[in-house]
Structure 1
Amino acid sequence: MRMTELIQKKRDGHELTKSEISWMIDNYTNDQIPDYQMSAWAMAVYFRGMTKTEIADLTMSMVASGVQIDLSEISGIKVDKHSTGGVGDKVTLILAPLVASFGVPVAKMSGRGLGHTGGTIDKLESIHGFQVEQSQTDFVKQVKEIGISVIGQSDDLVKADKLLYALRDVTATVDLIPLIASSIMSKKIAAGADSILLDVTVGSGAFMKNIDDARLLARTMVDLGNAVGRKTIAVITDMSQPLGTAIGNRLEIAESLAVLQGGGTADFRHFIAEIAQIMLSLAGLEKSIDEILANLSNGAALAKFKALITHQQGDFDELVNTPIHETKFSKIVKSQKSGYITAFDALAAGKLAMSAGAGRAVKSDSLDLDAGIHIFKKIGDKVAIGDPLFQIFYNKETFDVVTESQILLDNISISDEKISINDILEIIK
């Protein structure tokens, strides 16, 4: 078998066999296929696409390229959750302990942020002392003991995906639904959960910019999960504006803590409860929204969050007593109009937070864990001239806060008509 033959076959629109895909992934992972040939294949996929069978075969070949986590020691149905990313997306920080508070084990591996999208692991590392790395043995042991663990993705998990993603990133083939789906699902399947909840975000702050693409990606991933015996459900959620009221690592931890203490905005709490309801149902547990909201106010979810932090060497007392560290500089940006917020562009907000130091332009960039944005008003809120819209926190003396904040301000629309948006747009099973 030769790689040139597989490139030509896909270039001409033909379906690759399971053995051909397995051979390709195995040899690429073992440095027997050069990047330039894999790049040519990815570009052929860009123009010709992949069949459902090809995507499934690619996914499972990628799963086989690294270690697979065995969660069989943990009793009960293990449910995993993945988000395709967004701005202010701290859902896992609240959802994981909330679900665990109902006795459903949560054994989750999460990633870091890149560009305008934040990463759960970066946020957890803003908690003093928190350890995001664990051996597989300790990972399973912790879930058995306290019902929850959230760690960084193992370097040995789905080795082919790390190589292929890095290649796609520099060859303009990132936004390929077959390759996005196989990338996400190979990691979810290898992580060992019995059931999978997928949060597919759509809008300016997401990778999927329109509902049709989001729907296609969600459908593809749900079919992949179900085909290999993992009960899978996807929710398509709105990312046209930031999620919650905080963007930035320490700021999002503080907002998450507030929600777990019974605070936060009512609409955000309800959104989390809706997601939790679906995740619990995947574990065979049916709970009402009111029952789920109760665990956010009665201390049950907070207790799981505390257990998670302390078991992974984080300083919970310091977090509670000093939830936000002061930055050298901050700026409040006020409204220049009266009316109702009708747009608060998530991408512009994410880019502003990244420029302030809260995100990475490339993986090697260091983060300012205290930098970020607090949002005072969102879509549907009434504002008057002079009302605060958002506040920027930063430490970089070279940060041009006036110019950068104006870009976000220009992407906030205010009119006389009040509108509302739904956070959950569709559920795909």
Structure 2
Amino acid sequence: MSTFNYKDLIRDKKEGKQLTKEQIFAWVEGVTNKTMPEYQLSALLMAIYFKGMTIEERGYLTQAMASSGKRMNYRDIPGRKVDKHSSGGIGDKTSIILVPLMMELGVKTPMVSGRGLGHTGGTTDKLEAIPGFLVGISFEKMKEMMQSIGCFMGTQTADIAPADKVIYGMRDVTETVDEISLITASILSKKFTEDLDALVMDVKCGPSAFMRTIEKATELADSIKRTCESTGTQCKACITRMDFPLGEHIGNANEIYECIIAFDTKSEYCNSVRRLQFCKNTPGLVKFENGVQSAVDVLVIITFVLALQMYLVSGLESDELKGFEAVKKAWLSGNLHKHFDQLCALQGGSVDKFLAHYKLIQDQLDKPEQSGKVITITAPKDGKLVKVDGVAIGNLMVDLNAGRKVFGEPINHDVSMQWYPYPNQQIKKGDVICKIYHPDFVKKNDHTFTFKADQHFCSTVTKRVHDTLIYSEDPNYTYSEPLVYNVL
């Protein structure tokens, strides 16, 4: 039975006092060993919701939660360890490009990723679209891979920050999920188990993100950066726009496919990289010659900005221009596919088997005519496309079983959306907006579709996509929000 007085802890926070390191570690220990009653945990979380926590408290909470389970130890492996984390977006596949890119640059990258929940996807789910790929690797396997290739791509297991799972579950049922101190500690506790020297954080901002306003996104980015630094971990927090999907693919298997294409030096993605220019006066230090011209450009510039920040905090380069040139050279080296193959093989996955399977799906998406498993959705009118409701796009994909509504729910990795629009694109009626592949679509003789037993579902898909598009009828109007708002 616990001898710690949780009532004192709750009272101190209710009165707005700063909790001590000893109090916070005792609280997390009580959560982990189940000696703290749920009603007292609930009361404490609500007190924190209304009174907040200082940066020092957030640092202690993060460290305590990270220490509630097993922690990795890579001190005997030379080089600074750098990871990246995103607050979640639509079509956000940057991690899958970043890890092979860091391999080429020589940056040690231990990466623990999460699953999708709600309208956003998860890196773990995407990787599991590769036949045999094991995300739940052991700590021993993680270290072996860090020693041999300098990276791994794992997922949170029961051994990693178990206190976070308990506290998050209680936050979910007590309406305290959106408290910035608790969000910060939840994100960082899992990252701190990786024995990091530096973290690059991608805080998504906009109508398709969890942080809808620049004020909220900046608050979270600042909290994460300052909390990291209070514990001796370097951090760069990038605030990036999240309205249009990142890239041309939304789903799981098809996002892996898009990343593999992005490794090809003859691809549109590498041509996009070639158009990037160093720009000291922009927050992300890069811009496009002639601006954003495709959905591919949106993915490339966000990925490149994150890669550049990861390279700079790795300590391998301090000069920003030289860092830009090194990242560009690495992406265009032609070696990223080889690195990705090597990573996948060490975690049991076969890229060749994946490509053999997914090519059958991509062949259907590439057909100019509507195939039996693909719905093609076209623009209903002329206009300049200025915004997209990415949450609605994400929720549509969840309804099609590419994502999950309940934690642990199985998903269909093959469900794919191929997306074409980009910011400020001049659209004409009849232009293709997107194509959606689903193995359970059935094309009838009258060219309409059914979906499993639901005769009306497919007739609503087109309307749901159309409803996500926000036009301006003024051809001179330009939506001027930047893709990278700031880097803290």
What's the TM-score once normalised by structure 1's chain length? 0.95
User: What SS is found at the alignment partner of 1:82?
Assistant: strand
Give the CA deviation at 1:380: 1.8
Change (3 A) 1:221 1:316: same
Correspondence list, 1:236-255, <5 A: 236-255=239-258
1:190 aligns to 2:221 (yes or no): no
* Distance in 1, Cα, partners of 2:478 & 2:83: 37
**Where do 5+ consecutive residues of structure 2 fail to align?**
270-295, 365-371, 441-450
TM superposition shift of 1:114: 0.6
Query: Which letter maps to 2:39?
Result: Y
Counterpart in the other structure of 2:355: 320
Match of 1:92 in 2: 95
1:279 partner letter: M
Cα deviation 1:166-219 (Å, max 9, x = unaligned): 111222111111000011111111211111111111112221111111111111
CA distance in 1, matches of 2:324, 2:426: 28
Q: Which residue of 2 aligns with 1:203?
A: 206
* Alignment counterpart, residue 465 of structure 2, candidates 408, 411, 414: 408
CA contact (8 A) 1:274 1:289 kept: no
For 2:305, give the aligned amino acid. E
Tell which structure's C-alpha radius of gyration is larger: 2
Note the alpha carbon deviations across 1:74-101, whole angstroms, 9 max, x for none. 2211111111111111000001111111
Structure 1 residue corresponding to 2:131, chosen from 128, 131, 153: 128
Give the AA of the match of 1:411: T
* Structure 1 segment 101-116 matched on structure 2, within 5 A: 101-116=104-119
> Which residue of 423, 431, 435 corresponds with 1:391?
435
- Asked whether the 8 Å contact 1:325–1:370 carries over to 2, the reply is no
CA distance in 1 between partners of 2:428 and 2:203 (Å)? 34
Do structure 1's residue 269 and structure 2's residue 300 form an aligned pair?
yes
CA contact (8 A) 2:341 2:350 kept: no
In structure 2, relative to structure 1, the CA distance for the partners of 1:325 and 1:201 (3 Å cut) is farther
Please tell me the residue identity of whatever aligns with 1:427: V
Pairwise CA distance, 1:47: 1.5
Shift of 1:425: 1.1
Seen in structure 2, the aligned counterparts of structure 1 residues 54 and 147 have a Cα distance that, compared at 3 Å, is closer
Pairwise CA distance, 1:292: 2.1
Q: How many residues align?
A: 428
Aligned Cα root-mean-square deviation (Å): 1.8
CA distance in 2, matches of 1:420, 1:245: 21
- CA distance in 1 between counterparts of 2:344 and 2:26 reads 42
Match of 2:339 in 1: 304
1:313 partner amino acid: G
Partner SS, residue 115 of structure 1: coil
SS at match of 1:60: helix
The one-letter amino acid of 1:161's match is: D
C-alpha change, 1:325 and 1:161, in structure 2 (3 Å) is farther
1:201-240 matches, cutoff 5 A: 201-240=204-243
TM-fit CA distance, 1:410 = 1.3
Q: Does the 8 A contact of 1:96 with 1:106 survive in 2?
A: yes
Counterpart of 2:482 in structure 1 is 422
CA distance in 1, matches of 2:184, 2:73: 22
Q: 1:370 maps to what in 2?
A: 414
Letter in 2 for 1:270: I
Separation (CA, whole Å) in 2 of partners of 1:267 and 1:215: 21
Does the 8 A contact of 2:344 with 2:351 survive in 1?
yes
Q: Structure 1: which amino acid aligns with 2:120? A: T
Task: Call closer, same or farther: CA 1:398–1:12 in 2, change over 3 Å.
Answer: farther
Q: How far, CA to CA, are the matches of 1:247 and 1:67 in structure 2?
A: 34
1:358 partnered with 2:402: yes
For 2:481 and 2:263, locate their aligned partners in 1 and report how far apart those are by CA, in whole Å.
24
Q: Which residue does 2:154 correspond to in 1? A: 151
Name structure 1 gaps, 5 residues minimum: none
Distance 1:148 1:325 in 2: 31
Checking the alignment, whether the CA contact within 8 Å between 1:203 and 1:209 is kept in structure 2 is yes
* C-alpha contact (below 8 Å) 1:345/1:408 kept by paired residues: no
Q: Deviations over 1:301-337 (max 9, x none)?
A: 2221111111111112123344355397321111011
Secondary structure in structure 1 of the residue aligned to 2:105: coil
1:25 offset after TM fit, Å? 1.2
